Structure 1
Amino acid sequence: MSGVEATARIRAVADGRGGTALPLLTGEGPLALRRTRSAGPQEAHVTLVGAMSAPLGGDRLAVEAVVEPGAVLRVGSAAATVSLPGGTGERAHYDVRLTVGEGAELHWLPEPLIAAGGSDLRMTTTVELAPGARLVLREEQILGRAGEQPGRLTTRLTVRLDGRPLLDQELSFGPDVPGWPGSAVLHTHRAAGQLLLVDPEYADKPLSARILSADPAEGEAVLTPLAGPAALVTAVAPDGLRVRRLLSASVAP
């Protein structure tokens, strides 16, 4: 039995009155999109709502968002995404493809991804940024639900600015992944997170590299400037709540 194939699509455009319109907002299967109240008049706010349990083994899900020049889009999710085992034993795939135009701004802030026991998920996030684009992107991974061993999870984040590589990183956790619970990777922690910030202002005023937290009980975090107008905050902690605190306190997006 094959899994579910579904794609959700968002297109945000400047409406000519200082706001952002959504001429395309459509979802399939477990991926439902809802326009929700925004924090300000300029931006559009979209919430991804899980219409059914997903991703399951064998599923192939995708979310595509295009932010046209001058538009401001904020995307979140109503709840955490839980990767679950399916009846076929196949790997699930979840692909996120984001495009941000010149002078546009995207805040991509989903709730955490939880790798439940027995699951196997590969998630890829690909971002194309035009010159002058702004991006705030958060990813959080939680390895297993309470009291269970985690499933297998591989995530890859690839970001290009004006066609040139800005960031390309891959993380793998769970059964059969060498070294992931070792002291050089997560050790006793079971949650990880990344916050990527891209802003043209960083070209003249780059953020400085610094250790944000070195407390094993509360979590560890570091801020790293990238070779471009960008910075990456990486955090690991005993649980998702502590990871969120570290990322939220790291900078003011």
Structure 2
Amino acid sequence: MSGVHATARIRAREDGRGGTALPVLESDGPLALRRTRGDAGEARVMLVGAMSGPLGGDRFAVEADVGSGARLRVGSAAATIALPGQVKDEAHYAVRLDVADGGELHWLPEQLISARGSDLYVTTRADLAPGARLVLREEQVLGRVGEEPGRLTSRLVVRVGGRAVLDQELGCGPGASGGWDGPAVLAGHRAVGQIVVVRPEFAAEPVTARMLGESATLVPLAGPAALVTAVAPDGLRLRRLLDEALESLT
């Protein structure tokens, strides 16, 4: 018995009138895409989960392709909850982002919650041209209130002009190695998140590495990019930390 396989696709293109068209907005199974009202020149899309999941054995994927001159903002209507299912296999959730020169993408989904008994592998890969812009937020909450987490492995890869500026993987929960809950990683916190910001001007003027309060850091990456990493006791405080960090970069 296999899980659900689904791939949703978004393609954003400059419409010739200063706005952004969406020639492809393709939902699939539990991954429903809805266009919402955006600012001038920007297209906005919400990802709406049409069913629970991902469950064990499921393979979900979302792909976004942003062309030159297009501006796209993608969010989700609710948190994604990784749950155990009848199939005991690992679930997979893959995100693939491509942004051309002069394109801009804000990828701002709601939090991913790893429920007890779940087993999920998440991969996010972003490929940007040298003149592209990106704001990518990733937030993970280990367990619901009063609950131990499932197993969650997350890999994030960002490339600019074919060169990797970030490639990292974090494993948490039962069976994960590397002392994930120790003082060198989460230090007992149950929410972890990061924001990657890619801007061409960072190549000439990189950000300065610094602490942002007691549980967040800002560091320049090896390219026109910056990384904010934060840990917190819960998802609400994590979001507050990341919002404040992003505001400091604007």
Give the TM-score taking structure 1 as reference length: 0.96
Q: How does 1:52-91 map to 2 (within 5 A)?
A: 52-91=51-90
**1:166, CA displacement in angstroms?**
1.0
Q: How does 1:97-112 map to 2 (within 5 A)?
A: 97-112=96-111
**1:98, CA displacement in angstroms?**
0.4
**1:251, CA displacement in angstroms?**
3.0
Alpha-carbon RMSD across the aligned residues, in angstroms, is 0.8
Q: How does 1:94-133 map to 2 (within 5 A)?
A: 94-133=93-132
Q: Distance in 1 between matches of 2:143 and 2:79?
A: 12
Q: How does 1:1-253 map to 2 (within 5 A)?
A: 1-38=1-38, 40-178=39-177, 179-214=179-214, 220-252=215-247, 253=250
Q: Distance in 1 between matches of 2:5 and 2:27?
A: 11
**1:224, CA displacement in angstroms?**
0.5
Q: Post-superposition, which runs of at least 4 consecutive aligned residues in structure 1 deviate over 2 A?
A: none
How many residues of Structure 1 are paired with residues of Structure 2 in the alignment? 247
**1:141, CA displacement in angstroms?**
0.4
Q: Percent identity?
A: 68
Q: Distance in 2 between matches of 1:226 and 1:64?
A: 24
User: Partner of 1:183: helix, strand, or coil?
Assistant: coil
Gaps of 5+ in 1: 215-219
Q: Distance in 2 between matches of 1:160 and 1:227?
A: 10
Q: Distance in 2 between matches of 1:110 and 1:188?
A: 24
Q: Distance in 1 between matches of 2:181 and 2:122?
A: 20
**1:204, CA displacement in angstroms?**
2.0
**1:54, CA displacement in angstroms?**
1.2
**1:223, CA displacement in angstroms?**
0.2
The one-letter code of the counterpart of 2:130 is P
The one-letter code of the counterpart of 2:226 is A
Q: Distance in 1 between matches of 2:209 and 2:160?
A: 21
**1:190, CA displacement in angstroms?**
0.2
Q: Distance in 2 between matches of 1:187 and 1:231?
A: 23
Give the TM-score taking structure 2 as reference length: 0.97
Quote the residue 1:217 is aligned against. Answer: none
The one-letter code of the counterpart of 2:123 is T
Q: Distance in 2 between matches of 1:206 and 1:164?
A: 17
The one-letter code of the counterpart of 1:236 is V
Q: Distance in 1 between matches of 2:244 and 2:187?
A: 23
User: Partner of 1:148: helix, strand, or coil?
Assistant: coil
Q: Distance in 2 between matches of 1:251 and 1:107?
A: 12
The one-letter code of the counterpart of 2:165 is L
Gaps of 5+ in 2: none
The one-letter code of the counterpart of 1:189 is H
